Structure formats: structure tokens, C-alpha cells
A = this chain, B = another copy of it.
């Protein structure tokens, strides 16, 4: 028996089903990723990380736990990783991108629940996510009705802690969020037995900001025509940013950006200059939810940005690292996270502006808005975005889908027509 298998057994995974899952994942990855032309050398690291996503990375988490560190799991970019790191813990995004255990999930949540929520519940109930099983605490948030209520049922199965994200950005709402930041800090200190200090928090801010900066650099390079990296690869990098060790990841993406820069300087790309350029916008795509990028890039277009939580929504805003007091640092944290333009806010006009601005800087010929079925906040904003972009003459394609493969042909037809229209 391999070391990995022994580890998975200790984590009480369903070994047989898990083997099957990894096999499907490997094949899916091969089809979608390894088939690409003109791929960057720097993507080899990503291929490796993904091939070991339930292996070496889990081993690292187990080693960290053995050394006394705690593991904190999340589903949302509102959970301030700076505090987790400052408390000496590791923060990881949790499995939520595959159609796994939906039937079991529907015992806990209504059928009319989005695929992402059903997925994390299915992963847990089917014992298929070694990340969830490694967690000492799982942090939820109140960003949508579906997650907010699902966490209540999920709490019977996992060590849940829920942060209240407000629904407006009024002064009172910001005060609520500031109080939630303090409560989370205290909870982390209790969990880890380690006080968060000005020094440890500033160091953690530098670490997380550095990762944001390198992803901003990556994104800026994608403004070049021809596009120097595929949308699939860029999405994968963003996905892995939620799992990987932050410092190692930042260094590796820095190297990849050097390679990209050289490419851009030489006018090289993954597709010919003039290839239709599309911006993806909307719901997050968690690993291995690569269906839509594959469909789009298989339809003669290239994706030049992801306006999503697994994309620019997570990387656009830096936290101010300069305050020298705990209060000042917590203010800075609260302020930075309140810049997030999640559809959970009302109104959320800044997102409309941000999508339009990103489409312009990335020189996108059109925007594809993607909402998970039953995700009401993004479905509403898709309609609003349609009105905003129409005013600016930017074409928009609005899609609603889930994790099943049943609608791939239908998506292809709609995407191909859209690509032709913007060409």
C-alpha cells in the first residue's frame, strides 16, 4: 500500500470511491489541460500540484498538524487568510467543484440548491475530500441563502464556524464586519492557542498581499494580444492559489510571469493574434469545474480574465500593511474585505463598473456571464450586467449551468454563436 493510501485510510476516506474519483479527475485533466498547444514551461508545476492535489499537499497538511499547526477550511474569499496565517494555522479552500454525492447531499439540503453547495456536502458525506477531513475548523459565511442555511445542516457533520458578512456597505454594516473580524481573530487564537501579534499579522499580510500582487501581474500580462496564456491555465493557477503553500506558490507564479513577459515581448501567444478574446464573469469555478472554459476555448476564443472569486475578485484589492497597531491592522483588514464586490451586497454597482473596466483593460471582445443554477444573487446581477454592458456596447452572453456534462453540447452551440458574433 502506498503512503498516500495509508494517509487516506487514516483520514477515513472511502478508498475505493476515492480511487475512482482520482482516475476520472486525471483523465478529465488530461483531456482539458494536456491537450493544449504552446503551453508555458511554468505550468509543469501546476500539473504536478494538481496531480498531487489529494496526495503531497494533504501530506503537507498532515505534517503541519503533526507539528502542532491547525488547518482551517473555507469556501469563500471573505475569510481573512491573514488572520489564519498570523495564528500559525494553514488555510485551504475545500472541495466543491465536482458532481460528487449529490443524492446524499439532497438528504441535507433542498434539491434546488446550487451545484457548489451540493458538492461540498456530497464530498463530506461520501468521504471523498481529504481537505475537509484534515480541517480543525471550517469557516462558512452568510454570503447567500443557500450557503447560510446549508451550513446549519452541515454543522452536524463538520466543525463549522460561521462569519456574518453584511449585505450593504453602510457604516453600521462595516461595524458589524469589523466585529466579525475580531471574533474570528479570537476564535483562531482559541483554536491554535497562539496569540496573533502585530508582527505576525503584518507578516501574514505581506504573504497574502505578495500572492495577490503576483496574480495581478499575471492578469496584467494577459492584456497582451496574442494572449500569452490560456484561460484554462490561468483559472487553474487561481484555483491552486486556494490550496497551495502561499509562499511557494507566489515564487512559482513569479517565475511563470517571467516566462510570460518574455513571451509577450516576442509577440508569442497560445492562439494567433486577433483570436476573439472573452472575459469570464460570475460564479466561482472550483477545481475541477473546467467545463465552461474548455467549451469556450474549444470554440475558437481565448479567455483573458476571470471576474470571479476564483479570479480577480480575490486578487484585485491589497490590504494596507502599514498600520503599526493591532486596531489599525484590523481596520485595514476589515476595509480591504469590504471592497469585495460580491453579489451578496445590495446595491453592488461597483461590480458592474469593475466588470466593464476589466473587459476594457483585458481588451475583451465580449463577456460570458456564468451563473450556477439556483444561484439567485448572480442570476440577478447577470440581468443588471446585461443592461450595463449594453450601454457600453460590450456583447454579453449569459449562461446558467451546473456540474453535469449533460448540457455541454447546448453550451457549445451558444458559445460558438457568440464567438462568431464578436469576431
Which of chain B's residues have a CB closer than 8 A to the CB of A162? Answer: 168, 346
In the complex formed, the residue of B with least CB distance to A155 is B347
Contact between chains at B172 and A380 (CB < 8 Å): no
Contact between chains at A149 and B376 (CB < 8 Å): yes
**Is B346 touching A379 in the complex (CB atoms < 8 A)?**
no
Q: How many copies does the complex hold?
A: 2
Q: Are B167 and A172 in contact (CB under 8 A)?
A: no
A52 to chain B, nearest CB (A): 36
Instruction: Name the one of B146, B168, B175 contacting A172, with C-beta atoms under 8 angstroms.
Output: B175
CA separation between A175 and B176, bound complex, in Å? 8
Chain B residues in 8 Å Cβ range of A270: none
Q: Which residues of B contact A151 (CB under 8 A)?
A: 346
Does the CB pair B142–A376 fall under 8 Å?
no
Tell me how many residues of A have a C-beta within 8 Å of chain B: 44
Query: Looking at the complex, which one of B153, B164, B171, B381 makes contact with A149 (CB distance below 8 Å)?
Result: B381
| Segment from A106-114, A213-221, A324-332 that makes contact with B | A106-114
A152 touches which of B145, B150, B173, B346 (Cβ 8 Å): B346
Does A170 lie at the interface of the complex (its beta carbon under 8 Å from any beta carbon of B)? yes
Nearest CB to that of A107 among chain B residues?
B383
Contacts of A176 in B (CB 8 A): 166, 172-173, 175-176
Measured between C-beta atoms, what is the minimum distance from A3 to chain B in Å?
Answer: 40
Q: How far is the CA of A381 from the CA of B168 in the complex (A)?
A: 25
Bitwise, A133-168 to B at CB < 8 A (1) or not (0) is 000000000101110111111000000001010111
Contacts of A346 in B (CB 8 A): 142, 148-149, 151-152, 162
The residues of B that contact A146 with a CB separation of less than 8 Å are 376
**Chain B residues whose CB sits within 8 angstroms of the CB of A55 once the complex forms:** none
| Residues of chain B with a CB closer than 8 A to A109's CB | 380, 383
User: B164 near A380 (CB under 8 angstroms)?
Assistant: no
What are the residues of chain B within 8 A of A175 when measuring CB–CB? 172, 175-176, 179
- List B contacts of A152 (CB < 8 A): 346-348, 380, 384
Give the interface of A toward B (CB within 8 A). 108-110, 112-113, 142, 144-146, 148-153, 162, 164, 166-168, 170-173, 175-176, 179-180, 183, 343-344, 346-348, 373-374, 376-377, 379-384
**Known pairs A112-B374, A162-B346. 18 more at Cβ < 8 A?**
A110-B380, A142-B346, A144-B145, A145-B377, A145-B380, A146-B376, A149-B376, A149-B381, A152-B346, A153-B383, A164-B168, A166-B166, A167-B167, A170-B183, A172-B179, A173-B176, A374-B374, A374-B376
